[in-house]
Chains A and B, each alone.
Chain A
Amino acid sequence: MTRTIRDLMSRQKWVAIALATIVLAGVLSVVSPVFLTVSNFQAILVQSSVTAIMAIGMTYIILTAGIDISVGAILFVTSALFAQLYMDTESYLLAFTVTIVCATLLGALNGLLIVKFKISPLITTLATYSIYRGAAIHLTGAQNIPVPREMGFLGNGRILGLPVPILILLIVTIIGIYILNRTRLGVYTRAIGNSERSATETNLPVNKVLIAVYGFSGLVTGIAALILLARVGGLQSGIGIGIEFTVIAAVILGGTKLSGGSGTVVGSVIGAVFLVLIDNGLNLLNASPYIYDIVRGSVLLAAVAIDRYSAVRQKASLEAQRAERMGFGGPHRAAQ
């Protein structure tokens, strides 16, 4: 049994975070009587929805061995665009359409800059983070803009008894899984992450894939922005600050390798839920507000350390196998 789980964990990295989530949920259900309630589970999923949706887009980017620091700024600028457009035109259709198109274009612009100028994704998106956030502040004059009450349906409405944010998360997750596993874009995304040089040498459309991947992340960030705006009740200049790190943390916790090539959409969604679960648990336990960041940081550090440790072990085992095949006794023995 243990071996089966271990095998599964080594093949499917998301199983580890799923198990960790189950264990944490088990602990919380023992220490807090209200944890195991339908409404609490719904609350956890609703709270996870924004981060999880963004994490799906980020999974694709990290799979290409890239990173996008500007997603929080895209979240903010598209929220600002929606709030401002709706205030000026009172047209939902126009505001929704422009917001989603702009979010996709801003993401794609990141991809375009990365492939055109061959600058590292970290530096490129750090620059665009500043540009996008500055543009939004300029657009709104750093003012708060309320959104109409009926928009609250996106944030706390229900369809067939399920909260709308959870439904949207489900749809985006299914689409994310489908594209990654059943389309050429998904295959190319992993291929670029495994080795961009090989992907280029085998004539894969690397540039187009990268632009599409960053564009997809922008698109889902736009969707997340609308949910967040509906839930928070209006635009505030603090929206999206630091969320990129939570999103990246969710992806890493979900088993996607920072070096690219390996990872799953499901893992990232569970990673986002896990992070919310930590906050939920600390809230339920009425923990001191000073320890929240410590706990979150420690969990992320542990996840990265485990990922690194397993990568080192995997590499050592591969090298040992290779050495054995070539007739050496292994790297250490060969060194003696």
Chain B
Amino acid sequence: MKRIFGAVVTGAMLAANAVFAADITIGLSVDQLFESRVAVNNGIKAGAADRGYDVVEVVADGDAQQQNAQIQSLIAQGVDAILVCAVDQNTIERALLAAKKANIPVVAYDRDLPDSRVVQSFVGPDSLVDGRLAGEYTAKALEGVEGPITIVELIGALNDQNGIDRSKGFREGIAKLQNVNLIEVPTDWDSARALSGTQNAFQANPKVSAVFAATDTHIPAVETVLSDLGKLAPMGSDDHVVITGVNGSNDGYQAVLSGTADAFVVMGTDATGRKAVELVSQILAGEKVERLNYVGGNLYTASDAEANKAMIWGAPK
């Protein structure tokens, strides 16, 4: 009797879930499109498809006011939940409050909104750990180097938490190195600025031991500078400059395979996207979720990058 009852309940739950799932629409509010963001969004769409959810995607092109209006529009369309990667924390809160008023749960992804009164959960990269992994690798590679060690750090956007945390993590990672001269180059995630900044840094400091790129998409620009200066020495040679980065793009993958870069930290973009949908699902089912959910990256070097190609989101498929 118990078994029959259990089977009936399970069947009813599955049927209800199917009916429930078919009606669920997630509003996906994206700050702007670039390679890694598209990779996370693809994870969200794949996770949603697995659960039978619909996704309505809007892209703000880096315009905070536009994102505000787009969220209002998602609310008007009657979406069941909103996944948001915000352009600007302060500007977006008004629209998110409207979502709360309409009983629409909001989950932030990739970029947290720590002061928001609306966001119920966040999922994104553990940028502090990602940066630290690159830093620790650099520290190990430069172990035993005598005299002052000059390291060029290509910083992401100065107002972007992921960029700030990667920088902080990297510094923690290299903390055990003595006598470090850290040259900060602001890039605003722009490779053209990374290129000129790196060039200037190498002009001012002829003996640079390592470069850390907050995003590995800057590594080809670093390669151009080293090539310009005749300093492009492969791994293992005395004049080699240790290069690391965070992201997991094809640029980083190719640079590591070719021996230009030593290592790169690959973000779990698919896992982040799928986790975001899982959080939405749990919230809609009335379950309690963690406020902060981090997806740590993995560090790969020339010795294991190719073998783990499937884990590297930017590697050619």
Which residues of A come within 8 Å of B, CB atoms? Answer: 32, 34, 37, 39-40, 43, 46-47, 50, 130, 133, 137, 141-144, 146, 152, 155-156, 163, 228, 231-234, 236-239, 241-243, 276, 279-280, 283-284, 286, 288-290, 292
- Interface assignment of B172: CB less than 8 Å from any CB of chain A: no
Contact between B200 and A279 (Cβ–Cβ < 8 Å)?
yes
- B196: chain A residues at CB < 8 Å are 47, 276, 279-280
- Interface assignment of B184: CB less than 8 Å from any CB of chain A: yes
Partner of B251, one of A43, A47, A146, A286: A146
With A47-B199, A231-B195, A286-B204 known, 5 other A-B pairs at CB within 8 A are A34-B203, A47-B200, A143-B35, A231-B192, A233-B220
- Interface assignment of B201: CB less than 8 Å from any CB of chain A: yes
Contact between A142 and B227 (Cβ–Cβ < 8 Å)?
no
How big is the B interface, by class? 35 or more
Contact between A43 and B34 (Cβ–Cβ < 8 Å)?
no
- B200: chain A residues at CB < 8 Å are 43, 47, 279-280, 283-284
Partner of B184, one of A156, A163, A289: A289
Q: Chain B 34-58 against A: per-residue CB contact (8 Å), 1 yes, 0 no?
A: 1101100000000000000000000
What 4 pairs across the A-B complex have the smallest Cβ distances?
A233-B220, A283-B200, A289-B186, A142-B33
Given A34-B203, A237-B33, A243-B192: A283 and B221 interface contact (C-beta under 8 Å): no
Complex Cα distance A146/B203, Å? 26
- Which of B223, B228, B250 has the most chain A CB atoms closer than 10 A to its own CB? B228
Contact between A32 and B204 (Cβ–Cβ < 8 Å)?
yes
Partner of B254, one of A146, A236, A292: A146
Contact between B183 and A286 (Cβ–Cβ < 8 Å)?
yes
Complex Cα distance A234/B217, Å? 9
- Interface assignment of B155: CB less than 8 Å from any CB of chain A: yes
Sample (6) of A-B pairs whose CB atoms are under 8 Å apart: A142-B33, A156-B224, A228-B192, A231-B224, A288-B184, A289-B155
Complex Cα distance A303/B169, Å? 40
- A163: chain B residues at CB < 8 Å are 228
Given A40-B203, A279-B200, A289-B158: A137 and B33 interface contact (C-beta under 8 Å): yes
Q: Chain B 237-259 against A: per-residue CB contact (8 Å), 1 yes, 0 no?
A: 00000000000011100100000
Complex Cα distance A130/B191, Å? 21
Given A32-B204, A156-B227, A292-B186: A232 and B249 interface contact (C-beta under 8 Å): no
- B304: chain A residues at CB < 8 Å are none
- Interface assignment of B9: CB less than 8 Å from any CB of chain A: no
- A241: chain B residues at CB < 8 Å are 62, 190
- Interface assignment of B212: CB less than 8 Å from any CB of chain A: no
- Interface assignment of B185: CB less than 8 Å from any CB of chain A: yes
- B197: chain A residues at CB < 8 Å are 279, 283
Give the nearest-CB partner of A147 in chain B: B220
Contact between A232 and B38 (Cβ–Cβ < 8 Å)?
no
- A43: chain B residues at CB < 8 Å are 199-200, 203, 228
For the complex formed, measure the closest distance between the CB of B252 and the CB atoms of chain A, giving whole angstroms: 10
Contact between A155 and B224 (Cβ–Cβ < 8 Å)?
yes
Give the nearest-CB partner of A232 in chain B: B191
Contact between A152 and B33 (Cβ–Cβ < 8 Å)?
no
